[in-house]
Structure 1
Amino acid sequence: MVRRGRTTRSTAAILLGSIVLLGGIAASVVAAIAVFFARKVVTPVGRREEDLGIGRVDLAGGEVELYGDEVDLAGRYGLWFERDSGHARIGEVVAVGSRSARRRIEGVDFGRLDRARRGRLDGWFYLGPWEFGRSYENVVVTTPLGPAPAWYVPSETPTSRWVIQVHGRGAKRGETLRALPAAYDRGWDSLVISYRNDGEAPASVDRRYGLGGTEWEDVEAAVRFARERGAEEIVIMGWSMGGAITLQAVLRSAAVRENLVGLILESPAIDWVDILHFQGTLYGLPAEVSSMVTRLLSAPLAVTVTGIAAPIDLHSLDAVARAEEFDVPILLLASEDDGFVPIEGARRFAAARPDLVQFEVFTGARHVKLWNHDPERWTRLIEGWLARRAVDGAIDHDEDQIAG
């Protein structure tokens, strides 16, 4: 009996030890996943995944067959292929199969599409300002980290009204070119900027994203550049993470607010906590992992495990919580079907400032692909909004003259 009791106690001890060990292993796995995810969030994107297969290419007939998810999206897109060594413009869907679609080829800019086997669709339809047949300049904006290249596209007639374009995470200046015609046609100059760690502007010491908490300084530098070139009324347009950067620039810089007359936000990153939870579900991660990522990025440990120079307080980047501090009109464009940034952040921001925010919701468009999906509506909204800003600016100017 004694032996049997000892055996029972020994077995129980072994089982308990095993449970503790397994629990420790599970906790370690969860922590490792959280660290991986946190590092991924702040690390600039290198080569992007080629997630589409390229089948039959009929250059003479102007058609290409694509395989993969979302190959049948309505609209026009850029198609990068063979590790970005080639680029083509893809148009309307001709036929749809099982996870495949045959689409029109609107043009091949460079590379051998007929030999390509892998590629990726992109919202960037244009490659440079030269495509619009209008004058432009390659200019340099002096940022706190050094000279950053930019494109300056003046309107047809001289003006003191400027739109500054701020691209998103993992993108470059070319992402924002879709907005140039709308600004040009409404008589606004455009400044298309780069910013730290985007592969064109100088890199920061840590070579990591600040999710708007550091990049805003480069937008401030762009505003100073515009003012030095004669800008008196400035609109800033931010795309995706560029939206977060733009919002932080307004909240943190008196210099940015000085000549600001409005903001345009396209598929913006407004609430990073919400975005990280949404992204976690896309990866099939438990909610506690996403919460751990949020806490990790804000903790001193983030410096060690992610390489960022300082922790990122995601709650301090929440523009909804500081919505009362904005005082210029805002055009907010977002899609119900974004698939990358949940629309809830945009809804909350619009609800917090209905007096300032014109909230326009698209359906069927993916992340920063609203123009691609419905270019007529997208362009009409931006042109109309810019036209109203010009009228408001003229009224304010006349009132100032009368007061003077």
Structure 2
Amino acid sequence: MSIAAALVGGTLNTTSLASRRLAGRGAFALFSTPLRRGRLRPAELDQIAGARTATMTVEGKSVRTYRWGSGERPILFVHGWWSRGSRVAPLVPGLLARGYSPISFDAPGHGESGGRSTTIMEYREIIRRLHAEYGDFEAIVAHSFGVAASFYALRDEVRAGRLVGVSGVGEFGYLLEKFSGHLKLRDRVSGELRRLIEDGLFPGRPDIWRNFSATHRPEEFDLPILLIHDDGDSMVLPEQSRRIAAAHGDRVRLIVTNGLGHNKILADPGVVDTVLHFLDS
């Protein structure tokens, strides 16, 4: 636990002794706002320079989109929290060589997009609009929180031939558990945070903790799924991918790597080759 996390968590817990609601609002502000946007990496510069960019507006926020290729045979990349669409860069050369058109975006509060916060609903709306523009995706490749968002979008009109989930969040409630555990929040704070998420971010939407989870209603999905997760991932535990695999059964292939962590895994040559082979097969 970092010193900053200890200070923040301690402050919220102390505040809750006087006002649970005030502490909950403070936790809610942190939970719903990415604290960093993720920097453009040097290895991504050439690929981003070659992308065709565009902008859409979602909930009043400007969203940057990227496309390589002609737009035919589209493959969508969905990034995670504190990340950006440029993380698709290691896959771009191989996808183009196979005749695919890689597409990605920066969610609100991330990368080059506007806004300070975002939700799984905004992710879904962006994915839906790109689907309306380019047609059915040959595949969706998603990372971290983007995996849960992709499963949710696939429940609602979006269609794809295959799905790749890397370091994926399988259960929406895991995000709350991870956040509360990282800050060591008392039950009175995490309980209030849970209520604010339900009432503030998703009013009128019952049972969000199940409905936004990749493990919920697996019978609604009928596409091959590749899951890749590192056994040393401390940000999203590999148990999340194991639970997705258990829920979806024979349509899933799960690969567990070693020593790649949560973020480096996307750029690993072996992982890139595995993803491309899965798309070829």
Q: TM-score, normalised by structure 2?
A: 0.80
Give 1:191's aligned residue.
103
Pick the aligned partner of 2:27 from 27, 37, 44.
Answer: 37
The aligned runs of 1:378-389 (5 Å cut-off) are 378-388=271-281
Question: 3-state DSSP class of the match of 2:86?
Answer: helix
- Cα separation, 2, equivalents of 1:278 and 1:238: 20
Pick the aligned partner of 2:118 from 209, 212, 230.
Answer: 209
Pick the aligned partner of 2:84 from 152, 172, 176.
Answer: 172
Q: Which runs of 5+ in 1 are unaligned?
A: 1-23, 49-79, 81-86, 90-108, 110-124, 303-307, 389-404
Give 1:138's aligned residue.
52
- Cα separation, 2, equivalents of 1:127 and 1:30: 46
Per-residue deviation, 1:30: 5.7
- In 2, are the aligned partners of 1:165 and 1:191 still within 8 Å (CA)? yes
Question: 3-state DSSP class of the match of 2:102?
Answer: strand
Identical aligned pairs, as a percentage? 22
Per-residue deviation, 1:140: 2.1
Give 1:353's aligned residue.
248
Pick the aligned partner of 1:280 from 180, 195, 205.
Answer: 180
- Cα separation, 2, equivalents of 1:318 and 1:129: 32
Cα 1:317/1:40, change in 2 over 3 Å: same
Q: Deviations over 1:197-240 (max 9, x none)?
A: 4353454xxx5321x1232011111112223xxxx652111222
Give 2:10's aligned residue.
none
Give 1:150's aligned residue.
65
Give 2:269's aligned residue.
376
- Cα separation, 1, equivalents of 2:192 and 2:266: 35
Q: Deviations over 1:259-282 (max 9, x none)?
A: x20111121222121232133223
Q: Which runs of 5+ in 2 are unaligned?
A: 1-13
Whichever residue aligns with residue 369 of structure 1, its letter is: K
Cα 1:196/1:377, change in 2 over 3 Å: same
- Cα separation, 2, equivalents of 1:142 and 1:31: 36
Question: 3-state DSSP class of the match of 1:364?
Answer: coil
Pick the aligned partner of 2:213 from 313, 318, 332.
Answer: 318
Pick the aligned partner of 2:169 from 265, 269, 293.
Answer: 269
Question: 3-state DSSP class of the match of 2:228?
Answer: strand
Aligned residue pair count: 265
Cα 1:309/1:251, change in 2 over 3 Å: closer
The aligned runs of 1:243-258 (5 Å cut-off) are 243-252=147-156, 254=157, 256-257=158-159
Higher relative contact order (CA 8 A, sep 6+): 2
- In 2, are the aligned partners of 1:151 and 1:193 still within 8 Å (CA)? yes
- Cα separation, 1, equivalents of 2:104 and 2:37: 22
- Cα separation, 2, equivalents of 1:153 and 1:177: 10
- In 1, are the aligned partners of 2:24 and 2:193 still within 8 Å (CA)? yes
Cα 1:240/1:224, change in 2 over 3 Å: same
Cα 1:282/1:296, change in 2 over 3 Å: same
Give 2:142's aligned residue.
238
Per-residue deviation, 1:249: 0.9
- Cα separation, 2, equivalents of 1:199 and 1:174: 8
- In 2, are the aligned partners of 1:297 and 1:311 still within 8 Å (CA)? no
- In 2, are the aligned partners of 1:279 and 1:340 still within 8 Å (CA)? no
Question: 3-state DSSP class of the match of 2:275?
Answer: helix
Question: 3-state DSSP class of the match of 2:82?
Answer: coil
